[in-house]
Amino acid sequence: MQLTIEHLSKTYPNGTHALQDVSLTIPQGMFGLLGPNGAGKSTLMRTLATLQEADSGDVRLGDIDVLRQKDEVRRTLGYLPQEFGVYPKVSAEDLLDHFAVLKGITGRRERKEVVKALLEQTNLYEARKKKLGGFSGGMRQRFGIAVALLGNPRLIIVDEPTAGLDPAERVRFLNLLSELGESSVVLLSTHIVEDVSELCTRMAIIDRGEILLEAEPLGAIEEMRGRIWRSVIDKSALPAVEREHAVISTRLLAGRTVVHVHADAAPGPGFEPAEPDLEDVYFSAMAGRIGRRRGEPEVAA
């Protein structure tokens, strides 16, 4: 089972090119879609979730035509949008039971077993009687995943799932997502580089509706080895460094500025080789310093 996206485009009435000829092959497991806010991630997610129409292109989930067989897609889709509402005065158990009915699980005994299993899987069983209005951000996200998992979906889409979570809740949620990737296609849309680095075996970087890079995270990082250089400078020296070198990122450290530069050889005095990470891959792609596409993943047909 894989999700195949070919030449997908979407332009909004105001002229914004949200998706521009997007093509991706997404195998079973965790796939990260990384990009800044406004890059087109949510447009792609909503299109795959059958919530809006594309202008052109094709999408297939196995033998299902995603753009034309919407009912078939919805029967095998689990979707956790960036923002979703709940009834604050209803318990997690009762609302999940309600969603199970809407998903077509009408037998009372079967539904009770499904609800119990999902609350246990998302670590919410002990809080099943608690009103959703009293849930923390992480608990709400895990409840959203429980809803998304109704019906054993083959495609699970999660849009910016860790935004606003505290570190402990984020770890719990990421661990849950990693388990889901063992049996489904899980598409994780995020602007947080660490989420992709820790979870995904394959990824794409998108900006202004275009795919800038498609790669395996570890392979992309390895290709950057020997090409990332680091220097610690005074803030006042930054404009001169930016004029002379291909600066891909800067950050403050103890009142000084740490500069990362992409170059095939040492940029000059004051620079030392840096151990690359996915953040360097991301910023290099955004700056146009590395190739726009990589080879398609090797997956079974």
Taking the domains of the chain in order of start, what are their residue ranges? 2-217, 226-275
Return the SS3 of 233: strand
Cross-strand pairs, 49: none
Backbone angles phi, psi at 216, to 5 degrees: -85, 130
Question: What are the tens digits of pLDDT across the range 125-139?
Answer: 999 999 999 998 888
Bridge-based pairing state of the strands 77-80 and 185-190: unpaired
- pLDDT value of residue 291: 59
What pTM was computed for the model? 0.86
Q: Which amino acid is at 242?
A: E
Structure confidence at residue 294 (pLDDT): 46
> If one looks up domain 2-217 in CATH, what number appears?
3.40.50.300
- Checking if the pLDDT of 300 tops 50, the result is no
Residues 6 or more apart whose Cβ sits within 8 Å of residue 74? 50
How far is Cα 21 from Cα 10, in angstroms, rounded to an integer? 9
In sequence order, the β-bridge partners of residue 24 are: 5
User: pLDDT tens, 235-244?
Assistant: 999 999 999 9
**Phi–psi pair at 210, nearest 5 degrees:** -115, 145
3-state helix, strand, coil split of the chain in percent (to 5) is 35, 30, 35
Q: What is the pLDDT of residue 177?
A: 82
Q: At what angle do helices 92-102 and 137-148 cross, to 10 degrees?
A: 30
